[in-house]
Every structure is written in structure tokens, then in C-alpha cells.
Amino acid sequence: MSTQRSGETSCLGHIDGKQCRTVLSKDTKFCSNCGTRNPAKIAADDQVKSADTNQSEQEKATVYACSSGNIQGTDKSKSDQKRSTEDESASDKDKDKSADTKQIEKPTVYGSASGEEITDSDEVAVGEDNDKIFKTTSADLQKLEDEISTDKSIGSIEKDVFQILREKGPEATIEYITDTIDSWKKTTVKIAVAGKSAVGKSAFINAIRGINKTDKGYATEGLGDTTMEVQEFPHPKNKQIIYCDLPGYGTVTIRREEFLEKVKLLEFDMFLIFVYPVPTEDDDWLVKQLIKAGRQFCYVRAKLDRDIKNAKKIGIKEENVIEEIKKKVHHTTENMPSSKRVEVFCISNKNMSIGEIQDLIIFMKGKIPTLKFEAVLFSLSAFVDEVINIKYNILKERIFFVSFEIALNMHIVHPDAITSPAFGEIILYFETLCLNKDFHSIIPNLKHPFTVQHIQNTLLIELKDKIGGGFRQFVPFYNIYVSHQACSQFFTQLLDELKEDYHTVHHYLTNETIPKITVLTEDILQ
């Protein structure tokens, strides 16, 4: 267990039903391992905020206000604070006199988010130009939360988002959303690729990263016991994802004891143990060590393409090859107590669109923390429809939060503040669905070409048109709700259309009757 220094604390989050306990510094906002917020950092921020303000409990209920379309935080000059406090007192008296104010029905553009009519008592004059700001009550926030939350099923951080919005305002909410939904980019994942020599380890490391022989970072293949030390191969799309080629074990050059000295089992998130043609006693020994260490693992049987080719020669149908392989593995492991129930996945390193690569990925989803799995998933090429479906579902879960971030941004910074977060999300869609290539020049009927001009001049303009914002000065919270709705509809439609484009591209590249460019085919099928 690591020793904590002054100012450090252990993460209170949980992974796979166990407490995370990652050591966090006092300045760390979110745990890089499980994504849980650091309570020490939150408490420190609250102390700073408390020292800088002397607001009453009623003033603390006001989260932010909107001035000429810009939502402002609680920082004001002393004169503004005094003027605001005096007018709030007058407003309270006026509200008492008009307690029977008639409620207006949504979607009116003349009411506040809480459904109340806006009267003179709700307005506060600010500055010489008499721009108006509107006070925001806890009822306003509750109305906004109720409206947005009923739109769809959303992720586990929903409550945190609205709590931060209530307590710290929109700026802190935007920062939290950005840090949380993109935290997968910062998390480190180490996948151990283990096994004896000539079982397909290096070929897998190259294939899973989309690396060819002439590329930088190529793992040397087919030279016997070439790995004497742990060799790390970062993914070119995300350097935080590292595939580690482990040395062999139980060989003349490296005995089992030496292997454990070279390989620190607890450093890795998961072990893929490659076997060919079946597990050996040394593989079973490694399984025992991993069970003791509490590590996640499975067997991987590569070279399926070779097995299919050989099976055809002896009259075995392609669809029966995997079943025959697993029968042999099961027969071999009957006398290996540790290996009896180990999952086995049959894959081809030369063509990952065949075999059980999708089952392996789904297996990993349930074995490593969510953030780490998302990082791995977004780095993968398409392979098969099952992988695309998992990617699609995770991207769809982001839409609520990205839309909320953009809607808040519009009313804090400027209506054009949607450009940066929206552009980044659109690029992520193209990259994750493997459409960030010049496919449109050779493949007909694609809805969205991957060009800067199309993204900026078509998609972003379409998003701005959907959001509109004609009532920005009058109904800030209702405008946030409408903007969130428009963003959600835009990103959902775009994601659906890009998924269709993926299927169009995949059909084109896998149809043997259509001439195609080799480089593009390799990019999406690796």
C-alpha cells in the first residue's frame, strides 16, 4: 500500500464492487482510475468560495443571472452587490403582494423557467445602459432539471451536474462536464499480452493498434523467443493505452521465477494469455499466479484464418472451426484445475472481422473500469458491427452532457461559443466510427464527407440554426432548455447518419466485386 503524504487522501470511489483507494493530491479534481470526484478538492473550493463572499442564505439560492444574453456568476463589485440586495428586498415585498400571480403555460417566451410571470419586481437594473438581469430561484433550477431529465435515460453523473449547477453555478458545471466526459483521454490502460513464443502475441499487438511493418512502433513478429523483457507499445491514437509484450515463461531462457521478477503482475489492468494450439501447463501456472494477484485474464487463441484454411482441406465447414478448436482446448484443460473455466476467444490477427474479437471486447468491458474500457474502445478500428454498436451507444450517452455544456456556454460566454465543443464532438464521432478518411471521393451516397469545410460550413451552421436563440435576453432558463433540446436532436441525428455511413463504407470495402483502394481497406479492416 502506498504511503500518503501531507495533503493527500484515498479515493472513496468503487471499481467492480471494491473501494478504489487511489491516492489523490489535494489539487486533484477527479480520480483518474474510477472517475470519482475528490471530496477534499471540493471542500477546499467551498472554503475559498465561503471566504470570498458574505451572502445571506437567500442570496446563495441565486445561482446565476442573465444580462443581455450572458449568464453571469456571483462575482460583483461592492456597489452591484449592494444594489442587488436592496432590489431583492423590494422584490420580496412585491412578490408577497402578488402571490396569486397567474401561472403561464410552457412553452411561453414571456415567463421564467419556474412558470411565473416576469414582473417589474423580478428585474434588477445594472449599469448605465439599464441592461436587465433576472434572478434565478431554486424553483427555476428544479424546473430546468425536471424538463431536461425527462428527455431520456442519462448517465450516473446527472445528479452531480445539477448539484454543481445549484451550488457553484454554470461555469463550474461546464468545467465538471468537460473534465468528466473526457476523463477517458487521461486515464492510463496497460494490457498485458502474455504467452509462449510463436503464438501470435506480436501480430496481435500490431493488428489491434493498426500498425504495419513500415510504421513506427511495429512489434517484431515471428522470430521465436525475441522478448526477454517487458516491451511497451503505446497506441498511436492514444499514448495512454499501452499494450505490453511480456517475455515467455517456463522456457530455457526464462524460468517461471525469473518471469515473476521481470513482470510485476499488479501493474496491468488485464492479461490476454495467447495459446496455440492449446494451453500448456506453463499457461495454467500463469493463471494460478493471476488468480492469487486478483488480476483479470482470459485465453486468446489466434491464427483462426490458418485454422479455417486447413479445415477446408479436410472437409470441416468454416462455421464449425471455432467449435472444434474449443473442444480441443476443453479436453486439454480437463486436468488443469485453474484453466478449466477460463474464457477462450478465437481470433485472427490477419483479419479481425472474423472470429470472436467482438466477444473479447465485450468480455473486457465487464472486467476493467468503465473509463479504461472507453479509452480502449475509442482506440479500436471497426472490426465488426458489434464493436460499432458499443461505440455508438457510448457516444449516444454523451449527447445529454455535451448538449447541456453547449447550452450553458451559449448563455455565459456568447452565442458563438458553441463552435469549439461542438466541433470537437463532431470530430470524435468521425474518428470513433472510423470515418476520418477521404471515403467520400471514392464511395457514393455518403451523407457526411470528412472535410473541415463540411463540418464548419454545413454541420455547425445547421446546429446554430436549430438552436436559434431569439429570446435569449428575456427567458434565460427556458432558452437553455430549448437549446439543450435542439443540440440533443442535432447530435442524435448526426450520430445516426454517421452510423449509416459506416455501414455504407464497410459494405463497399468488404464487397469483393467492387474495385477499391487498398490503403483505405486496410485502415478500416485492421
Residues 364 and 293 in one domain: yes
Average pLDDT over residues 97-101: 41
Q: What is the pLDDT of residue 9?
A: 75
Closest CA to 421 of 409, 411, 432, 438: 409
CATH number reported for the structural domain that contains residue 170 in this entry: 3.40.50.300
DSSP characters over 97-118: HTTTPPP--TT-SSB-TTSPBP
Q: What is the pLDDT of residue 150?
A: 41
Average pLDDT over residues 381-388: 77
In a domain, residue 75? The reply is no
Residues 339 and 207 in one domain: yes
For residue 449, pLDDT beyond 50: yes
Residues 277 and 175 in one domain: yes
In a domain, residue 106? The reply is no
In a domain, residue 361? The reply is yes
Residues 232 and 184 in one domain: yes
Residues 437 and 191: beta-carbon distance below 8 Å: no
In a domain, residue 422? The reply is yes
Average pLDDT over residues 20-45: 66
DSSP characters over 344-412: EEEB-SS-TTSBSHHHHHHHHHTTS-HHHHHHHHHHS---SHHHHHHHHHHHHHHHHHHHHHHHHHHTT
Identify the DSSP state of 37.
Answer: B
In a domain, residue 49? The reply is no
Average pLDDT over residues 330-334: 95
For residue 368, pLDDT beyond 80: yes
Distance, in Å, from the CA atom of 521 to the CA atom of 506, rounded to the nearest integer, reads 9
In a domain, residue 279? The reply is yes
Residues 331 and 303 in one domain: yes
Average pLDDT over residues 408-434: 85
Residues 406 and 333 in one domain: no
Residues 256 and 282: beta-carbon distance below 8 Å: yes
Q: What is the pLDDT of residue 362?
A: 92
In a domain, residue 88? The reply is no
For the stretch 254-283, pLDDT in tens is 889 999 999 999 999 999 999 999 999 999
Average pLDDT over residues 353-362: 92
End-to-end CA, the chain: 40
Q: What is the pLDDT of residue 507?
A: 87
Question: How many domains in the chain?
Answer: 3
Reported confidence tier of residue 412, pLDDT bands at 50, 70, 90: confident
Residues 287 and 339: beta-carbon distance below 8 Å: yes
Lowest mean pLDDT among 54-58, 319-323, 394-398: 54-58
| DSSP-derived 3-state class of residue 424 | helix
Query: End of a domain among 379, 411, 438?
Result: 379
Distance, in Å, from the CA atom of 520 to the CA atom of 130, rounded to the nearest integer, reads 60
Residues 355 and 401 in one domain: no
Distance, in Å, from the CA atom of 10 to the CA atom of 40, rounded to the nearest integer, reads 10
pTM of the entire predicted model: 0.69
Residues 406 and 352 in one domain: no
Q: What is the pLDDT of residue 332?
A: 96
In a domain, residue 109? The reply is no
Residues 431 and 495 in one domain: yes
- Which amino acid is located at 272 in the chain? L
Residues 285 and 234 in one domain: yes
Average pLDDT of the chain to the nearest whole number: 76
Distance, in Å, from the CA atom of 235 to the CA atom of 241, rounded to the nearest integer, reads 6
| CA pseudo-torsion sign 364, 368, 370, 371 | negative
For the stretch 36-94, pLDDT in tens is 667 676 666 655 545 544 443 443 333 333 333 333 333 434 444 444 444 444 444 44
Domain of 299? 154-379
Residues 471 and 109: beta-carbon distance below 8 Å: yes
Residues 296 and 367: beta-carbon distance below 8 Å: yes
Residues 245 and 219 in one domain: yes
Residues 358 and 412 in one domain: no
Average pLDDT over residues 165-190: 90
Q: What is the pLDDT of residue 230?
A: 94
Distance, in Å, from the CA atom of 360 to the CA atom of 302, rounded to the nearest integer, reads 12
